[in-house]
Structure 1
Amino acid sequence: MANIKWVADPMHSEIQFKVKHLMITTVTGYFQKFNVEALTANDQFTSADSVIFTADVNSISTNNEQRDTHLKSADFFDAENHSEIHFVGTKYEKVSGDDYALHGDLTIRGTTKPVAVKVEFGGIVVDPYGQTKAGFTVSGKISRKEFGLTWNAVTEAGSVVVSDEIKLQAEIQLVKQG
């Protein structure tokens, strides 16, 4: 039975994505507003009974205002109609050592698909203020087109402007709640 609640420490966590542009360089983006909550039966994170992640689409940042506005538009995330990205974990399993797999349902732009991400458990420490914190590195890949993000253009030479594959990377620090 899950009885320990953990929430993301936004000052020590980040959610980023990477996408190929013109198939020759990678553009990195971040969600500046997000939340992660987990419920566990113990402090060891050998299991997680619940993992829920949400990201505010309007907080997207690629360090380029024009591109961010385009990403929020109906061409991509359609933030006006789909303001959040949701992930609900369905299974957290040990792969080996400190490596885990987190399976769940990811919803982007109203489309929900099962995904699995790799989770590297960094450990648990008590900070100088007496808070118990757990650290994780999360990585994975998704197809943006599977979630309805189908906009693209083709260069004069026939290359696509934006790759279908999106790499996900997150550094998450969770804080144990009272």
Structure 2
Amino acid sequence: MAKIKWALDPTHSELGFKIRHLMISNVSGSFRDIKAAVETEDLDFGTAQIQLTAAMDSIFTNNEQRDNHLRNSDFFEVEKYPELLFESTRIEKVDDETFALHGDITLKGQRKPVKLNVEFNGITKDPWGGERAGFQVTGKLNRTDWGVNFNAVAETGGLMLGEEVKINSEIQLVRQ
């Protein structure tokens, strides 16, 4: 079997998230600076070894004041912990288009296991003769597992932020 290396196409990929705000709606955001290296045996993504990084200072929620707050010590401490790291540990093939992706996320100096859902959208040739693969990655994390504990009590007595963070990402890889 031949090893194939894949790189992330950052212009056609996004690492997105949502979190409850005031427990009645969601705030969405993303990390604008992400990189990934993937290695497969032939074209079998069930064999993939994946490493993805996100620059924590690239967080974007469409509100500069909130983004700056997320970068400080109340949340991500980006000066001390500049990077989020995901490393795969194993992949379970559910069917031809669905995988359970197991791995570890290192955030704020803490490494914890996660399980994500992956939908394989296929492989195609691009207009320049390259080969590309597309995926949707979803899942749920509890932010407090990584020491992201900031919260405040709203006027009504409820919490300002939920603990559950929903991941919704689009990933496009380019064969190297």
Tell me, yes or no, whether TM beats 0.5. Answer: yes
Aligned amino acid, residue 166 of structure 1: V
CA distance in 2, matches of 1:140, 1:95: 15
Deviations 1:132-157 (A, max 9, x none): 00000000000000100000000121
Cα distance change on mapping 1:2 and 1:87 into 2, 3 Å: farther
| Residue 3 (structure 1) aligns with | 3
TM-score normalised per structure 2: 0.97
SS of equivalent to 2:120: strand
1:62 equivalenced with 2:65 (yes/no): no
| Residue 155 (structure 1) aligns with | 154
SS of equivalent to 1:35: strand
SS of equivalent to 1:69: helix
| Residue 39 (structure 2) aligns with | 39
SS of equivalent to 2:20: strand
Superposed counterparts of 1:14-29, under 5 Å: 14-29=14-29
Deviation for aligned residue 1:46: 3.3
CA distance in 2, matches of 1:132, 1:44: 14
Check conservation: 1:27, 1:62, Cα contact below 8 A. Answer: yes
TM-score normalised per structure 1: 0.96
| Residue 91 (structure 2) aligns with | 92
Deviations 1:50-99 (A, max 9, x none): 10010000000000000000000010011010000000000012012311
Deviation for aligned residue 1:43: 1.6
Deviations 1:89-128 (A, max 9, x none): 0001201231101100101111110001000000000111
Aligned amino acid, residue 102 of structure 1: L
Segments of 5+ residues of structure 2 without an aligned counterpart are none
| Residue 118 (structure 1) aligns with | 117
Segments of 5+ residues of structure 1 without an aligned counterpart are none
CA distance in 2, matches of 1:23, 1:90: 33
| Identical amino acids, percent of aligned pairs | 48
SS of equivalent to 1:47: strand
Aligned amino acid, residue 130 of structure 1: G
Q: CA RMSD in A?
A: 1.0
Check conservation: 1:91, 1:102, Cα contact below 8 A. Answer: yes
Deviation for aligned residue 1:44: 3.4
Check conservation: 1:2, 1:39, Cα contact below 8 A. Answer: no
Aligned amino acid, residue 173 of structure 1: Q
| Residue 167 (structure 2) aligns with | 168
| Residue 128 (structure 1) aligns with | 127
SS of equivalent to 1:46: strand
Deviation for aligned residue 1:2: 6.5
| Residue 103 (structure 2) aligns with | 104
> Which structure dedicates a bigger proportion of its chain to strand?
2
